[in-house]
Amino acid sequence: MSLMANWSWNVQNPEADWLAWLYDYNSRLVIIGAILLGGAAGTIGCFTLLRKRALLGDAISHATLPGIAIAFILANHFGFSGKSPVWLLLGATLAGLLGIAAILAIRKLTRLKEDAALGIVLSVFFGLGVALLGIVQQIEGGNAAGLESYIYGKTAAMSRFDVQLIGVVGLLGIAGCILFFKEAKLLCFDEAFAASRGLPTTWLDVGLMALVVSVTIVGLQAVGLILIIALLVIPAAAARFWTDQLASMSCIAAFIGAASGGIGAIISATFAQMPSGPTIVLVCTLLFLLSMTWGAKRGIAIRAIRRQRFNRSISRQHLLRAVYELGETTTGLSAANAELGGGFSQDLPRQSVSFDEVLRKRSWTKHQLSRVARWAQRQELIELIGDEIRLTKRGMLKAKEITRQHRLWELYLITHAEVATTRVDRDADAIEHVLEPEVIAELEQLLQGTPGELPDSPHLLEVVSADVTDTTVNERGS
């Protein structure tokens, strides 16, 4: 509540709380800074994510602590103001670069893997930093130097200089990414290929890491050294759910980063009990969860819906073929059917079969069948007349097409893959739904069939009718 009391805006106006950030200079500064930082971190995070170095920022941000402490001690010793962010950021940068060098050295010179290298550098550097902070506190004014703000972040106290720094570094970082976009892309997706094309992969890698270091360091004061990792990792990971293109991914990541920075800062400016650093990160997490479920490319919900839709279409196709083949084996069973199917030419099979017949042909339960039938009915592929399933005109065409694909594949398997005739039905069952028109054309050519003509089934079709309980076999030779 103390934050609110400081505001010059009339607090008695109930709407004031929501829009206060618009009029307060400091809040605006913080919001702009957070947006810039989120955007820059999001863009650069994409490259580290695809490089499978998402946690590099973690190690670097922890590694900066001793640099900050040493810079403070040295600046104080030589009579400069230790509070000046220039010295502290310089120290942080040097320590961060040293941390990277240590990670690379451990990976190259020992048999430890990347994860251990990151963990060692992170914890040992941080330990040194904590030990040095213990000393800093003994220096006059060390307690009040606000070095702790580098650990937790003091977004609410961001100064004009901080925002300018974030702006400059962020824009430089984004410019660097755009300038070396092609090279960075190659590095991320196929390092060996990039090297074979003569690209200086090591230097590109170093450049990328330098970008991570610079963003980490300008972000330290804004959200603190642990939460800056979030801005480097989460927007990029969230953007991955929306697209497969690197360019659009980095734009989306920049947007998500900027949005969480902006929204988080606004929330924090509005509610005194929401400190800005954690709020920004939690907004970011929320956007990540949204992307993870609803992302257009890889989102969980989208994938589930797509899968369900596919499964439904497969079931529908199975139903259509079952109805068609049943009709084929028992043409002209009843006069009533012939009468109902009056609209179709005479050589077409019977168009109406009962539920029981389909049930016996496919391994569906009654419940499943009625569900599949309902979906098909909704698409006007079949009509349900009492217990009978009848193909509509569209359904008939579709059924014929499916059956044709099925049989072409069966024939192909028999003649070219030498699969036993009795087994092809099952094999063809799986593939008939995903055959492209070109493949069908090729199959026709291979099997010397005429386009559009429906070949006979190469194997025996089971005859099941409503009143015949035991299965008889009707041989249909060619």
Partner 1 sequence: MLSSLAWDWSIDGWIILTGILCAVSASLLGNFLVLRRMSMLGDAISHAVLPGLVAAFFISHNPQSLTMFVGAALVGALTALFTDWIRKAGQVDEGASIGVVFTSLFALGLLMIHWVADRVDLDPNCVLFGSIEMTPFDQLTILGAEVPKTVVVLSVVSLLNCGFIVVFYKELKISSFDPASATAGGFNATLIHYVHMILVAVTAVAAFESVGSILVVAMFIVPPAAAYLLTDRLAYMIILSVLLASVSAVLGHIGAISVPGWFGFRSTTTAGMMALSAGLVFFLAAMFSPKHGYVVKVWQRRLLNWQILSDDLVALLYRIQAGDRVIAPRIRELAKLLLSDTYSLWLVSNWLRWKGQVIIETGHLRLTEDGVSKARKLVRSHRLWEQYLAAFASLDTERIHDKAEQLEHFTNRELRDQLASATDLPDVDPHGSLIPPEEE
Residues that bind partner 1 (CB under 8 A): 49, 52-55, 57-58, 62, 106, 109-113, 115-116, 118-120, 122-124, 126-135, 138, 148, 151-152, 226-227, 229-230, 232-234, 236-237, 240-241, 273-275, 277-279, 281-282, 284-285, 288, 292, 298, 300
Buried b (16+ CB within 10 A) or exposed e, 286-303: ebbeebbeebebebeebe
Q: How far is the CB of 29 from partner 1 (least distance, A)?
A: 22
| Integer angstrom CA distances of residue 90 from 95, 215, 229 | 9, 13, 20
Tokens of 207: 């450049």
Q: How far is the CB of 106 from partner 1 (least distance, A)?
A: 7
CB 282 within 8 A of CB 32: no
Q: How far is the CB of 215 from partner 1 (least distance, A)?
A: 15
CA dihedral 423→428→431→434, nearest 10 degrees, is 180
Q: Which is nearer to partner 1, 280 or 399 (by Cβ)?
A: 280
Q: How far is the CB of 14 from partner 1 (least distance, A)?
A: 23
CB 219 within 8 A of CB 231: yes
d(C-alpha 135, C-alpha 68), whole Å: 13
Q: How far is the CB of 135 from partner 1 (least distance, A)?
A: 5
Q: How far is the CB of 279 from partner 1 (least distance, A)?
A: 7
d(C-alpha 50, C-alpha 90), whole Å: 29
Q: How far is the CB of 165 from partner 1 (least distance, A)?
A: 23
Q: Which is nearer to partner 1, 134 or 146 (by Cβ)?
A: 134
Q: Which is nearer to partner 1, 57 or 96 (by Cβ)?
A: 57
Q: Which is nearer to partner 1, 142 or 458 (by Cβ)?
A: 142
Q: Which is nearer to partner 1, 130 or 157 (by Cβ)?
A: 130
Q: Which is nearer to partner 1, 154 or 407 (by Cβ)?
A: 154
Q: Which is nearer to partner 1, 124 or 348 (by Cβ)?
A: 124
Q: How far is the CB of 405 from partner 1 (least distance, A)?
A: 31
Q: Which is nearer to partner 1, 173 or 277 (by Cβ)?
A: 277
Q: Which is nearer to partner 1, 131 or 179 (by Cβ)?
A: 131
Q: Which is nearer to partner 1, 293 or 379 (by Cβ)?
A: 293
Q: How far is the CB of 309 from partner 1 (least distance, A)?
A: 19
Q: How far is the CB of 43 from partner 1 (least distance, A)?
A: 15
